[in-house]
Amino acid sequence: MTDQQQTELRETVRARYAQAARTVTVGGVAEDCCGTDPIAVDQTFGTSLYDAADRDQLPIQATAASLGCGNPTAVAELRAGERVLDLGSGGGIDVLLSARRVGPTGKAYGLDMTEEMLALALANTVKAGIGNVEFLKGHIEAIPLPANTIDVVISNCVINLSVDKPAVFAEMVRVLTPGGRIGIADVVAEDELTPSQRAERGDYCGCIAGALSFTEYRNHLNAAGFVDIEINSTHLVAERMHSAIIKAVKPDETACCAPGCCSSPAATALS
């Protein structure tokens, strides 16, 4: 993919989700990742993947803007006092849920490239009355935070939209503290599907064409430096395409007494 193609694709994605934010802002409900695709009827994307107790504690605009393929806050095992970063935070549902889980001594950051989504997320934060939240504008391939400052990175069906996935994984490692971890929901293809076959099942903005295979995902995480990698399918979103939960840990060399070990508390929590 050329630089020009990457730029055009990123703009297409931005425009799609900006329109979703505008729809929610005026009282509508954003279409899920697959738009009007029949998959939407099966409730494989969006707010239906959250428990009613989680949905009910947030403004309706936060749940109406939910476009993900899972619930990363339910698997990230967040603890009081932790610093959490949500990549592609959209209307803020996962940031607000994370902020409640980490409590007043922790903090939840949301990163999004879309002005309209950031404005919606800020409005939802005010309505929810949650103070330990900060939203940042930027790209997930170049996270605007210092190194070694985040305990947990989450993301909900966004990495498949990136035009430079290795850069995203490298950035996650950079911002995580030693022993930090990730808990991600994303669309993942079965290994036998070629990129063209994935594109036949859905477009890039629809979270399908840009999906990595299970092996590709694992290899990218490994190349970035992650250990204790787990990739587990939760449900089908298209033929031989899965919503999956991805977990991994950044090694904590300071906690190791032998080469290659990673006996950090975060690694233990994910085992």
Q: Rounded to the nearest 5°, which phi and psi values hold at 73?
A: -70, -20
Once rounded to an integer, what is the mean pLDDT over residues 195-199?
94
Q: Specify the range with the lowest mean pLDDT, choosing from 47-56, 171-180, 230-239.
A: 47-56
Check residue 77 and give its pLDDT.
87
pLDDT at 36 (0 to 100): 36
Checking if the pLDDT of 45 tops 50, the result is no
More confident residue, 207 or 119: 119
Residue 269 predicted with pLDDT over 70 = no
Please state which of the ranges 68-82, 126-140, 205-219 shows the lowest mean pLDDT: 68-82
Q: What pLDDT digit, counting tens, does each position of 122-140 carry?
A: 998 998 899 999 999 999 9
In this prediction, residue 99 carries a pLDDT of: 95
CB contact set of 185 (below 8 Å; sequence gap of 6+): 68, 69, 70, 71, 72, 75, 155, 156, 157, 234, 243, 244, 245, 246
Give the distance from CA 177 to its chain's centroid: 18
Question: What's the confidence (pLDDT) of residue 242?
Answer: 94
Q: Give strand pairing partners of 155.
A: 87, 184
DSSP string, the chain: --HHHHHHHHHHHHHHHHHHHHHHHTT-----TTTTSGGGGGT-SSGGGS-HHHHHTS-HHHHHT---SS-GGGTS---TT-EEEEES-TTSHHHHHHHHHH-TTSEEEEEES-HHHHHHHHHHHHHHT--SEEEEES-TTS-SS-TT-EEEEEEES-GGG-S-HHHHHHHHHHHEEEEEEEEEEEEEE-TT--HHHHHHT--TTTTSTTPEEHHHHHHHHHHHT-EEEEEEEEEEEETTEEEEEEEEE---GGG-SSTT----HHHHHH-
- Between 219 and 41, the higher pLDDT residue: 219
- What is the pLDDT at residue 247? 96
For residue 270, the model assigns a pLDDT of 33
What domains can be seen in the chain, in order of their start residue?
3-270 (3.40.50.150)
Could you read off the pLDDT of 96-111 as tens digits, one per residue?
A: 999 999 999 999 999 9
Whole-number pLDDT of residue 39:
31
Q: Is the pLDDT of residue 27 over 80?
A: no
Nearest-CA neighbor of 88 among 112, 105, 124?
Answer: 112
The more confidently predicted of residues 133 and 4 is 133
Mean pLDDT of the 187-197 span: 95
CA distance 44 to 206: 13
User: What pLDDT is stored for residue 233 in this prediction?
Assistant: 93
Could you tell me the pLDDT band of residue 90, with boundaries at 50, 70 and 90? confident
CA-CA distance, 170 to 226, in Å (whole number)?
9
Res. 63: pLDDT tops 70: no
Average pLDDT over residues 176-205: 94
Average model confidence (pLDDT) across the chain: 81
The confidence score (pLDDT) of residue 60 equals 53
pLDDT of res. 261: 53
- pLDDT surpasses 70 at 155: yes
